[in-house]
Every structure is written in C-alpha cells, then in structure tokens.
Amino acid sequence: MLTYILQASAVLKNVTGLQPVDTMAYPFDYKFIVKCTGCKTEHNNPVEMNRFDKFEITGFRREANFLFKCRECRRERYATLTRLPNKIDQDGCQTPILKISTHGIELLEFIPDDQFECQSSLSQRVIQEIGLEEGEWYDFDEEGNGDVGIHDVKWEIVLSR
C-alpha cells in the first residue's frame, strides 16, 4: 500500500484560490500514468479516477474509488482518493491537493486535463472552466477590468508515510 500526495504550484496573476472543480455534480477526473508494482508494467494509456466512483474490491467487503485489472499480470489494483482542503494561493508554493492511497500501482505522472477554478482578485468573480494542460492560462476579467492568469504550473507526486 503506497500513499501519495498530489501537489501543485503556480504563479498567479490577479487570481487566488486555484483548485480543481471537484464536486458531486462535477467530479474531477484525476488522470495518471501508472505502473503495476506486481509485474512492473508501465501502462501507456493513462487511467482516470475520481472521488465519487465506488467499486467493490473482489474478496473484500471494502470499496475503492478506482479499480483496475493489470492487463499483463491480471491482478486487481485499486486506489482511494481524498481531496485535501487546500487551494493554491501563493506563488510558487507547492500545495497538497489530493491524497491517493493505492494498492498495487505506482503513480508516475499526473495529466491535468479536467476543469479548474479560481477567483479573480479584481472582481471577486469565480472563474471556472479553466484548462491547465499547457501549464498556463490567460484571460481578461471584464468586471474587474484587468488581466488575470496562471502560469508555471508544476505538478508533483510525492510519497507520503
């Protein structure tokens, strides 16, 4: 059982509170490149997991948020996600976003291709539908009459104990 923390840093221009849009109505799909710790296969196709899916683990009276059968060794691998109560507010400061308790998989890389939100410090407006695949995002806040943006987004997956 390996527990990981997904953390991120960014440089913010006139925005605060950057975070994934991750609610029951709009679950964030966390996408990872994973490696099976049993047979050491690195899976080329990323896998997606969210906090709200529930799967029963075979042979256990327990549930996980993500269940996956390794195509090489056919063993069942699973993970459970916990959103940590943090938002990215400070430039360049690595902020823990998500805890992922895994069984049988190693998380190699995070691919941020779902929706993020933040708040404009010019108008206090919440801005959604932000994509960070390219590691940056820029817009003009009409209400606040100024530029808003996010750049130098860096993701890290660290082992927790």
List residues binding Zn ion (CB under 5 A).
36, 38-39, 70, 72-73
Q: How far is the CB of 103 from Zn ion (least distance, A)?
A: 12
Using alpha carbons only, give the angle 142, 129, 64 rounded to the nearest 5 degrees.
Answer: 155
**Cβ closer to Zn ion: 8 or 36?**
36
Comparing CA positions, the residue from 95, 132, 98, 78 lying closest to residue 27 is 98
Identity of the residue, 22 or 106, whose beta carbon is nearer to Zn ion in the bound complex: 106
CB of 105 to Zn ion, least distance (A): 9
Decide whether 38 or 46 has the Cβ nearer to Zn ion.
38
Q: How far is the CB of 39 from Zn ion (least distance, A)?
A: 3
Angle at 57 between CA 37 and CA 30, to 5 degrees: 65
Contact 75, 36 (CB under 8 A): yes
